[in-house]
Structure 1
Amino acid sequence: IKNISATKALCKRWQERMNAGLPVPKIVFFVKDEIALDIVEKEVGSLNASLQPIAEKLAETEKQVTDLLVKLPNLPSDNVPPGKTPAENVVAREAGVIPQLPAGSVPHWDLIRKYDIVDFETGAKITGSGFPLYKGKGAKLQRALIQYFLDFNTDAGYTEYLPPFMVNEATAYGTGQLPDKEGQMYYMPADNLYMIPTSEVPVTNIYRDEIVKADDLPIRMTAYSPCFRREAGSFGKDVRGLNRVHQFEKVELVQLVHPDKSYDALEEMVTHVEKLLNSLQVPYRILKLCGGDMSFTSAFTYDFEVYSAAQERWLEVSSVSNFEAYQTNRMKIRFKDASGKTQLLHSRERKTC
């Protein structure tokens, strides 16, 4: 609300300064001699000098407006459930059988130590807390899941990419990581580069500042990458073990589609994730996120959760979001419609941890 009010005030000030500089009549001089020409040049110079302070103030106000506009989140779709907290998310559907574990069953942070497949202590020695070291069958399982997800996606018609794991400021701005998540990203000031929080960031930017052919739509992309997040302020029993770490692996889906098919494509991605989870035979549920629990850039989001019998709670493993034109407007990803008019595409993504 504060940013919206400030933006409205700045827009009013911007319009006032525009009005102050615009009503300058166009003057056509018919100069017959050098004396008259000299007088005209002085008048024009005086006029330009008087307009210069107005132009500078206008440029300053325009920058202030832009700086505030990029801090405004996406508008929720009309179909987003009302609410402010995760408790107000709506369960769309649930599938699978929740297993009943025998007495004495232990959570994954004890199992990985028992079977020596993930080593947090050595990871902390190498880098710091929250950087797990996978080893033996743990490393092999991680690699197998990544390969399985990628093959599942490419079999469904997605093109695989292996993007850079660092991005520049323009790329992070394009997908909305900047300025919203600046404090959660690892930043290298010497090179002005950011470690990616997800491969969605570089993959969506492949088409930044481009006009796509309508015949090439929809564009379906998938990518694996390690993901890096500072997760500042995360602590407690809910983030033990692998529940919340600074480096993890993820496979993404990204689609660029015609605005008229935006929500059809969203449901298609939801069905795709359901098929993947069913193939793994894990119990899951799908949530429609309420407005207060959605991300900065999303217009509509489904969360996928699987049930952890050992922890006795649901854990988010995937989400499918429709950003509509929020990201593509920042990145200027466009297409020409049947009438030849240039329009913004819609973007959506699915992440699977």
Structure 2
Amino acid sequence: MHDIRLIRDDPATFDAGLARRGLPAQADTLVALDADRRQLQTALQTAQTRRNEASKAIGAAKAKRDEATAAALMEEVAALKQRMPEMDAEAAAIGTDLDSRLAAIPNLPAADVPAGADEDDNVEVKRWGTPRTIDAPREHPDFAPALGLDFEAAAAMSGARFAVLRGQMARLNRALGQYMLDQQTEANGYTEIAPPLLVRSEALFGTSQLPKFADDLFRTTDDRWLIPTAEVSLTNLVRESILDEAALPLRYTALTPCFRSEAGAAGRDTRGLIRQHQFEKVELVSIVAADHGAAELERMTEAAESILEALELPYRRMLLCTGDMGFSAARTYDLEVWLPGQNRYREISSCSWCGDFQARRMAARYRPTGDAKGTRFVHTLNGSGLAVGRTLVAVLENYQQPDGSVIVPDVLRPYAKLDRLDPA
């Protein structure tokens, strides 16, 4: 959410930020709406003051038996009583329009985010690991069904973009999630949370999924929503609160199911586990003071990278360009893991610094140390540490063997109680 006062004070900078996002200038329209609202609010206050004065004057005129003056004043008060609700409603309508416009505008990119139109303009900033040499590597949908990955049973009960994991495949998937969660809590200092999977609209508005991305979500009949990511639940833990700076940073993690309609992904990744309606993810969320956001993004991204490195999965870190960043992000790193079956890197984690964009929508503040009265908005960050299903895909494809089996990475063996997955 953007602060209209900042736009009013520096409209050129705001429009320049929108231009970097590929969006038209909007500052003049927003400032004009704000001016109309403030003018009406001032007029309403003036009318209220005059109404109070006239009401008192009526009594004084009647005490002097000045009926003509009293009648004129009563007529004026009656007119004000009629006009004031109209002014209030008009100001409220303008305010609603202004707030709706502000809520629909994405965050402005940080100064060092590269300009670009789409993923082709993202910048590689790091590469780790060397892809293994695999003779005739296959994509996971072509060999994993023999290992317990069942798309047919899932389609029969739920439709497309669902999967059933059986036996050893389910065990490996569970091992991945538990390993990630243990690493993020024990090695990287995140506090484990078991959050709700159903949230109200206000929570999704706070993290910017609503109103823009309503079509990508699943909604219940009692006006709750299934979370598309635990970012929603974890970030809203500080909703409408004022924290002491000494309590920051707050770092939360959760392993949860996530639910997405994938309304905008028709025809993409229809085979396999890459793009599902239901999947598991270990989410990372940080709440920090305003001057710690950039450093926290590096820390969070390294926490996600540590999982890939422990699993010995080659990856690269990409700095997203202005045209490829998410709605609420000011800066984003994508981690892309090597998938030999596709012969390319695919996104497995996205770590974003949102500045105070989400905090404004949630009214989440902190009190700086030494400042007894003033408050500032916190900065929020979120990232995947990692998407479990996509990590399962990466393990299957990178550790596939000529006989159709899959070697289980060393760090997962204590969790999975398996050395390899063998075809049935």
TM-score w.r.t. length of structure 1: 0.93
CA apart distance, 1:274: 2.1
- Which runs of structure 2 are paired with 1:113-152 in the superposition (5 Å)? 113-115=145-147, 117-152=148-183
Checking the alignment, whether the CA contact within 8 Å between 1:153 and 1:222 is kept in structure 2 is yes
- Which runs of structure 2 are paired with 1:19-168 in the superposition (5 Å)? 20-21=43-44, 23-24=46-47, 26-27=49-50, 28=53, 29=56, 31-32=59-60, 33-34=62-63, 39=71, 40=73, 42-103=75-136, 105-115=137-147, 117-155=148-186, 156-168=188-200
- AA aligned to 1:121 is E
CA gap of 1:44–1:102, structure 2 versus 1, over 3 A, is same
CA apart distance, 1:273: 1.8
Q: Which residue of 1 aligns with 2:214?
A: 182
1:167, 1:238 → 2: CA distance?
A: 28
Q: Which runs of 5+ in 1 are unaligned?
A: none
- AA aligned to 1:10 is L
CA gap of 1:145–1:63, structure 2 versus 1, over 3 A, is same
Q: Which residue of 2 aligns with 1:346?
A: 379
- Which runs of structure 2 are paired with 1:303-342 in the superposition (5 Å)? 303-337=334-368, 338-340=370-372, 341-342=374-375
- AA aligned to 1:187 is R
CA apart distance, 1:10: 3.2
Q: Which residue of 2 aligns with 1:203?
A: 234
1:296, 1:288 → 2: CA distance?
A: 15
Q: Which residue of 1 aligns with 2:291?
A: 260
CA apart distance, 1:267: 1.0
Q: Of 294, 298, 310, which residue of structure 1 is paired with 2:329? A: 298
SS in 2 for 1:226: strand
SS in 1 for 2:106: coil
CA apart distance, 1:52: 2.6
Checking the alignment, whether the CA contact within 8 Å between 1:3 and 1:72 is kept in structure 2 is no
1:237, 1:218 → 2: CA distance?
A: 38
CA apart distance, 1:110: 1.0
What do the CA deviations read for 1:247-299 (whole angstroms, capped 9, x no partner)? 11000010100001111111111222222221111101000000100000100
Checking the alignment, whether the CA contact within 8 Å between 1:150 and 1:224 is kept in structure 2 is yes
CA apart distance, 1:118: 1.3
2:175, 2:236 → 1: CA distance?
A: 28
**How many residues of Structure 1 are paired with residues of Structure 2 in the alignment?**
350
2:280, 2:355 → 1: CA distance?
A: 26
1:313, 1:157 → 2: CA distance?
A: 32
CA apart distance, 1:127: 1.1
1:334, 1:304 → 2: CA distance?
A: 30
- AA aligned to 2:203 is T
CA gap of 1:138–1:48, structure 2 versus 1, over 3 A, is same
Q: Which residue of 2 aligns with 1:172?
A: 204
CA apart distance, 1:350: 1.2
Q: Which runs of 5+ in 2 are unaligned?
A: 1-22, 388-424
What do the CA deviations read for 1:154-199 (whole angstroms, capped 9, x no partner)? 11221101111111111111100001210100111x2101111001
Q: Of 222, 236, 239, which residue of structure 2 is paired with 1:191? A: 222
Indicate the larger mover: 5-14 or 336-345: 5-14
Indicate the larger mover: 163-172 or 5-14: 5-14
Checking the alignment, whether the CA contact within 8 Å between 1:10 and 1:65 is kept in structure 2 is yes
SS in 2 for 1:78: coil
Task: Say whether residues 1:10 and 2:43 are aligned partners.
Answer: no
The structure whose residues are more often helix, as a share, is 2
SS in 1 for 2:265: coil
Query: Superposition RMSD on alpha carbons, in Å?
Result: 2.1
Q: Of 304, 329, 336, which residue of structure 2 is paired with 1:273? A: 304
Identity of aligned residues (%): 35
1:237, 1:173 → 2: CA distance?
A: 27
CA gap of 1:311–1:14, structure 2 versus 1, over 3 A, is same
What do the CA deviations read for 1:84-120 (whole angstroms, capped 9, x no partner)? 11000000110101112113x31101121122x1111
CA apart distance, 1:11: 3.2
1:44, 1:217 → 2: CA distance?
A: 53
- AA aligned to 1:100 is T
2:206, 2:134 → 1: CA distance?
A: 45
CA gap of 1:194–1:237, structure 2 versus 1, over 3 A, is closer
2:153, 2:265 → 1: CA distance?
A: 21
1:75, 1:137 → 2: CA distance?
A: 46
TM-score w.r.t. length of structure 2: 0.78
Greater Rg, structure 1 or structure 2?
2
